Each structure stands twice: as structure tokens, then as C-alpha cells.
Amino acid sequence: GYLQTDVVGNELFYTFMPSQSDPAKDPVLLWLNGGPGCSSLFGWLAECGPVVSDLYSNEWHYNNYSWNKNLSLIFIEHPAGVGFSKVADKEKEWTEEAAASGLLTALKNFFYEEFPDYKDLDFHISGESYAGVYIPYLIKAIVEDTEEERKINLKGALIGNGLTDFEVDGEGSIGEFMYGHGLISKEMYHDFEKHCWHLDPEYYNLDGRDFPVHNVSHRCNEIRETMSDMFKGIDMYGILRPCKDWHNYRTPNKNGYGTTYKQQINKMMHEARKIKIAALKQRYGEDYFGDDDEEEEIEIMKYICSDDYFIDDFLNNQTIREKLGAELGDKPVWAQCDPVNYPLHDSLKFYTDYLPTLQNISVWFFS
């Protein structure tokens, strides 16, 4: 169904999976996917929900590792405009505070209007990727909320592979991942460190001196191209499992609208690089860039694939949508990720500065 936010016309679509053990006592957990702009129904149908699909199929089976074995699970499409969620103004630019405020109101309506039997149970927040930013801002909104009669009983958060800092979680992490899993040699990894602009000279200070940073140099593109070739046919969510028809996975979403989760990650990394460039220009001046050797960047992840199209098929089935009480509005189809107007932020200061000041809230961050 739908949960009203603090803005009239902004309604968030959700699914609720009560605990299979003791729903009257077991904790409640909210799951959020990232993007920004990607649907949390991805987590419901492909990650931690009670029913999942086999790889590259439309066959469904019971998930023996479902998180709602002893938790009640909420999956919310967030922010307004993502997936089946409704948005009053598509053009309005999101801030992290506005997104968190809307989600907080939706949660209050969930606990105090829709499912009041659950409002006093322990509540936790979980998610991945850009949820590493969503969750800190939501925690802050809950902690600082002054509406005492509708408080959220927050006990903790579980954040997996969350974005915290573009310095660490941007393109540099791809090089580290590939080298750590034997996809590229030590020599190529060091070449990548030395020649690709995303690295901070103050951090690495190779050979005891700063090295120049460019938008993308020809040598960096050569390295990127080689690394991209190493990713051919590899599933981004499980590099040891086979990819089916990997060469077809570069095409846009086959329903012709929106993007896949993989494409949204590529978009986010491109935006993160622009943010990093702006920060370096501010630090070192405009003259720090502008090498004659500059080129348009090669996309490292252009050949990887994922097995996620079955979700589009499932949620674009009219019978399924009717059973879910979901509406498309003016969208032609449901898409895993939607082009919401959401400028990127990171969240490192939350973990370093704000989190240590909190009382009685546990946060588990894992990668």
C-alpha cells in the first residue's frame, strides 16, 4: 500500500512482511536500497525477502535465509517518485533533510495509523549502497524529532556496502576490488593508482611527491579499457557465478523506461567523479586541471552484467500490481531506478562526528 509523507501528494509505496516466528515480539526492520532513486523492492525480491527468484529466471522459491524468519520487514520505495511511489512535483530538487523528513512521516503513519500493534517493538533500519547516506539522515531525523506522542522506537542500524565518502567508495574501490579478487595484476593496480585522477595526491603522495591529477588522461583510459575487458561476463553481485548473455546487458532497460540498478551505479560514480573534481579544483585551483592529453572517460563497468530483469517482468505484470495495490501513475512501466532530481552527498561526518554522541543506538557497518 501507500504511506503519506509530510508533503501532500508524496506517498511512499511499501510492502510489509511480518515475522515468521513471533510478530508480536520480534523487532521490526526497515530495508532501503540506494541509487539515489532505486527501488527497495529490489531488496524484497532479490536479496532478503521471504521469496526470491533463481538467477536469470522467472522461477520463484522460498528463501531459507529470509530476514523475516525472526524480524518483521518493511520495504519502502524512497524517496517519493521512485518505483510505485507518488510524487507531487517531479522537478523539485531533493535535499537529504527533505527526503529523511518524508520517510520519517511515512514511518510514523505506518506505526501509528496502519500497524499500531508494532509501534512499541524495537525498530532498526537497514540498507545498502546510497542508503549509507539515507540511513544517517533518517537516524538524525528520528533522534531529533520532537513529536513525543508519535516517537519511533529506534534501536539501531545495519548498513551494508554503504556510501560514506567519495574518496573511498568511488572509483578507487573498483581497483581495490579487482586486485583483491585476482582480476588484475599488482602492476596494473599500481598503474591505476598512479594514472587515474580520482586519487587524492595528499593521500597517496607517490614517490614522496604529489602527482598531477587530470579529468581523464589517455594513459588512464588505456588502463580503464583493460580493466573493463577483465569484467566481461562477470556478474557484479557475484563474480564467481556465470552470466547469461552478458553482451546483451549493456542495452537500456528492456521496458524502455528508467534504468537498471547497475546503470544507476554507473551514473552515481560518474556524478561522484564530478564532485571530486570540483573539490580538487577548490583545493588546488583551476590550473590543477587541463592537460592536453585529456579525454572522455572510459567506463570501467561497461561489460558487467546482472540478473535483475526478472524483477521488471514481475512488477510490470498487471495482475501482480493489482494484488500489491500498486499504481503506475503517469509512468509507462515500473523501473528499478528512476531519474529523481537528487544531488549526491556523502555521510562520513555522521560516522566520525555525530554517531559517537548518540546514546543507546547501535550501528553495524559492514562491507
Across 205-217, average pLDDT: 45
In angstroms, rounded to a whole number, what is the distance separating the alpha carbons of residues 174 and 184? 11
- Supply the pLDDT for residue 241: 73
- Supply the pLDDT for residue 230: 86
| Per-residue pLDDT reduced to its tens digit, 288-312 | 555 445 566 677 777 777 666 788 8
| DSSP state for residue 94 in the 8-state scheme | P
* Max CA distance (Å), the chain: 66
Predicted model pTM: 0.86
- Supply the pLDDT for residue 218: 80
* Average pLDDT in the chain: 84
- Supply the pLDDT for residue 263: 67
Across 205-225, average pLDDT: 60
Q: What are the CA-CA distances from residue 286 to residues 67, 211, 289, 291 (Å)? A: 50, 16, 6, 12
Confidence grade of residue 214 (pLDDT, cut at 50, 70, 90): very low
Phi, psi of 294 (to 5 degrees): -65, 145
- Supply the pLDDT for residue 189: 92
**C-alpha cell read off for 281:** 579544483
| Per-residue pLDDT reduced to its tens digit, 2-42 | 999 999 999 999 999 999 999 999 999 999 999 899 999 99
Half-sphere exposure in the Cβ direction for 342 (13 Å, CA): 27
| Per-residue pLDDT reduced to its tens digit, 89-126 | 999 999 999 999 999 999 999 999 999 999 999 999 99
pLDDT at 149 over 80: yes
Task: Classify residue 290 as left (phi > 0), alpha (psi -120 to 50) or beta.
Answer: left
Most confident of 60-69, 289-298, 337-346: 60-69
pLDDT at 235 over 50: yes
- Supply the pLDDT for residue 1: 95
Closest among 49, 45, 65, 69 to 57, alpha carbons compared: 45
Q: Are 201 and 211 in contact (CB under 8 A)?
A: yes
Q: Are 333 and 255 in contact (CB under 8 A)?
A: yes
